[in-house]
Amino acid sequence: MKESNQQFEQRKRDHIRIALDPRTQAEGQNGLGSVELIHEALPDLDFKEVDISTSFFFSGASSLQKDAISLKLSSPIFISSMTAGHENGRQINEALACLSDRRQILMGVGSQRRELDDSNAAEEWAQVRRVAPKARLLGNIGITQLIKTPIDKIQKLIDATEAVALFVHLNPLQEVLQPEGTPSFKNGLEAIENLVRFSRVPIIVKEVGCGFSVETLKRLENTGVFAVDVSGKGGTHWGRVEGYRSSENDMLYQVAQTFQNWGVSTVQSMLNATEARISYEVWASGGVRNGLEAAKLIALGAKKVGIAKPFLEAALQGDAALEALLNRLETELKITMFCTGSRTLQDLQTKKVIL
């Protein structure tokens, strides 16, 4: 049965409220506590030399991609996808987009699923662009919607956000536990390949908090995707979120308890990417809460590191809280680099800094 606008609005409000509940956090399961960076007591540089700037460069993989994309970014830290398509989400996205605009960091938008059936939903992004014209936005659609949607409609989602890339999110556990879920993943790999073939922007495949196995990362190797965000277990667990939307007497609530620790940790997902020997970029998210953890993931090979819950909490407090959060994260990243003798992000990735 098709979900009504009222049901959609309620589901999204539930997601924001429950995602902030400590019970939905797979704290301590991202694996980052087991990663130790080597302290350099005599770094051959001054702290002011540490440079965390990076870029987003895409040369064009399809015949429709005429121009390369080359963006300068102040940091490898990006705002992970959270919410979209409802009134509360609009206010949150405007605040986050303004931060992206001011500080030139990437921002993943929430699922654009509603826009496929509601043409008015795209107005959210027109408003976002009015207040944040230089925001570096990454569009977002679920694999279940991609499978059954013509490419031209997907391109409209990209156009609506003026996105520099498109996330395709994979969320089998969430879909199967969500009362309104659509757990139809058959032919998903072919749908991704087809999208890459006709898209005018790079495609990034991501999980939503359950990570990737070696085999799945290998299966994506020949699709032409630009990157994979491993989004491992360790942060907001969407299986738990969907479970807590049901009452304790409901079967889905009880089943969600069974799967409350399901997934591949963020660190293990990064190690799996190394083992898979893939050629596309690897991004990382999943329970990252500070700049030190971001640095550990970069040292493990991540080109970009996504953070969600801390940005959501700060967005609900206002611009000053968002600025303070990003300042802290970037300062922690810089200190980690200084104390490992890494002047650039490339140094952090290529020098022996992991014990």
Percentage above 90 pLDDT, the chain? 83
Beta strand segments in 180-271, E: 203-207, 227-229
Give the pLDDT score at 163: 96
Confidence of residue 326 (pLDDT cuts 50, 70, 90): very high
Q: Which of 245, 180, 169 is nearest to 207 (CA)?
A: 169
Tokens at residue 188, please? Answer: 């998903």
Residue range 26-43: average pLDDT? 96
Report whether pLDDT(48) > 70: yes
Q: Distance between CA 155 and CA 298 in Å, rounded? A: 31
Residue 59: per-residue pLDDT: 83
Average pLDDT over residues 267-293: 98
Which of 285, 344, 326 shows the shortest CA–CA distance to 53? 344
Whether the pLDDT of residue 86 is over 70: the answer is: no
Q: Taking CA 100 as the corner, what is the angle to CA 75 and CA 333, rounded to the nearest 5 degrees? A: 25
- Model-wide pTM > 0.85: yes
Per DSSP bridges, beta strands 305-307 and 77-79 are: parallel
Band of pLDDT at residue 85, cut at 50, 70 and 90:
low
Residue 185 pLDDT grade (very low, low, confident, very high; cuts 50, 70, 90): very high
Query: Is residue 249's pLDDT more than 90?
Result: yes
Q: Which of 170, 115, 168, 176 is nearest to 139 (CA)?
A: 168
Cα–Cα distance for residue pair 164/201, rounded to 1 Å: 6
φ/ψ (deg, to 5) at 36:
-120, 125
3-state percent breakdown (helix, strand, coil) of the chain, nearest 5:
50, 15, 40
Go through the chain and tell me how many residues it has. Answer: 355
Reported as a pLDDT band with limits 50, 70 and 90, residue 6 is: low
User: Is pLDDT of 35 > 80?
Assistant: yes
DSSP structure class, residue 148 = H
Residues 6 or more apart in contact with residue 66 via CB below 8 angstroms:
60, 200
Domains of the chain are 5-350 (3.20.20.70)
Structure tokens of 307?
């953070």
Q: What is the dihedral of CA 25, 169, 203, 274, to 10 degrees?
A: 50
Share of the chain above pLDDT 70, in %: 94
What is the Cα gyration radius of the chain?
Answer: 19
For 198, the enclosing helix (H) or strand (E) is helix 188-198
